Structure 1
Amino acid sequence: MLIIEIQSVQFFLLLVYFSCMMCQVAIYCWYGQLLMEKSDAVTSACYKIDWHRASVKNQKMLITIMERVKKPVVMRAFGFFELNLATLMKILKSSYSYFAVLQRLYTTNNFN
């Protein structure tokens, strides 16, 4: 089993690597969440303007826009995973769960 001392340079490098990877995933998820929120706001923005005073052509255009944005815009990773804050939390929880299992296995094997 691979054991790395906390005071070692290799541990520091792995910590920096892990932090950079988590920041990269967090940035993608943050902007994916922002994109979803902004796409949801388009419908309410179309409704809040004085659409009833607009020409019939513009009213029809607003209806078309509102119909098209009913389904929110979503960023996906590899076409499978939605990139949003809920996904980020799942990634963090799963990472910690895997770490806890590995740590538990290590302590069980070393102290028995």
Structure 2
Amino acid sequence: MYLPTPAFQIFIYCWCGHEIMEEGLSVSRAAYSSGWVGAGRRVSRGVRVLMCRAQRPLLLTAGKLYPVNRLTFVSLINASYTFYALLRQMRDR
């Protein structure tokens, strides 16, 4: 009963981190799709700078060690289950 609670908490962080990274990628497309072509020089320059900066993907990290996304969650669950199976096998001997 104890194991699902921390796994769910990690899942929530990883899911939200992944969603934030995906939304960050759509900022550049949204700026490009706006009506900036006929706008003034300052506005078009600002939108171009925004598009260039938004093309770099956002990367949320946990403790500056590993990225927080769905792939990280799956790898953590796989590693946890492997460790659990190893400990269970050693206990059964």
Q: What is the TM-score with the length of structure 1 in the denominator?
A: 0.76
Q: What is the TM-score with the length of structure 2 in the denominator?
A: 0.90
Q: Distance in 2 between matches of 1:19 and 1:86?
A: 18
Question: What are the residue-to-residue correspondences of 1:1-112 with 2, within 5 Å?
Answer: 15=1, 17-107=2-92, 109=93
RMSD (Å), alpha carbons: 1.2
The structure whose Rg is larger is 1
DSSP-derived class of the 1:51 partner: coil
Task: Give ranges in structure 1 of 5+ residues lacking alignment.
Answer: 1-14
Q: Distance in 2 between matches of 1:84 and 1:105?
A: 32
Q: Distance in 2 between matches of 1:105 and 1:54?
A: 69
* Moved segments of 4+, more than 3 Å: none
**Is the CA contact (8 Å cut-off) linking 1:35 and 1:74 kept in structure 2?**
no
Q: Distance in 2 between matches of 1:31 and 1:63?
A: 28
Aligned length: 93
**Identical positions, percent:** 26
Q: Distance in 2 between matches of 1:105 and 1:20?
A: 25
Task: Give ranges in structure 2 of 5+ residues lacking alignment.
Answer: none
Q: 1:68: how far off?
A: 1.3
Structure 2 counterpart of 1:63, one-letter code? R
